[in-house]
Amino acid sequence: MDVRFTLEPFAAIEREVLPLASAHWSEIGEQTYGRVETPISFPVWRSIEQAGAMHIVTARDDDGALKGYAAFCVGPHQNIEGKVQASCLALYVAQDMRRDPFVALRMLRWAEDTLRDRGVDCVAYVSQAERPCDAIYRRLGAKMTETTWFKEL
């Protein structure tokens, strides 16, 4: 199965992303955050897109079916003046696409190229503690700089 990477607006994938996002949530989000009705906050993602800050790279199969996404929020770096940072909001590749062990790596490299073309200087990646993506992020040349802790109030 071949894969094609594309830069797409959220509005273009909104109707077809829910099954993937639900699979994504059941694999990793639910363990950390519990059950949710909708695994993507559609109003929040729409507002990020309306602000011009959303950057989504999709993975599609030969038939054009959505099989993965890497979604980023782009804006000024919160601590380094003059730098533009992309923060990874979500990264997911459908299980049937994972027969290619490097599909996520290739998608992120493609995403980084498009982010660079957009004027982004740096990328912040995250992953769940239960399913760390350290190996793929290191392959991209990223280094661990922070640890995030979460607590519901």
Greatest extent of the chain over all pairs of C-alpha atoms, in Å: 45
Q: pLDDT by residue for the chain (153 residues), tens digit each? A: 688 999 999 999 988 887 777 676 666 755 666 665 666 678 888 999 999 999 999 999 999 999 999 999 999 998 889 999 999 988 888 888 888 888 999 999 999 999 999 999 999 998 776 767 788 889 989 898 887 777 678
Domains defined along the chain, listed by start: 4-139 (3.40.630.30)
Q: State the Cα–Cα distance between residues 72 and 124, nearest whole angstrom.
A: 9
Helices H, strands E: what count in the chain? Answer: 5, 5
**What is the predicted pLDDT for the residue at 115?**
98
Give the model's pLDDT for residue 39: 63
Contacts of residue 100, defined as CB under 8 A and 6 or more positions apart, other chains included, come to 1, 3
User: The whole model's pTM is what?
Assistant: 0.86
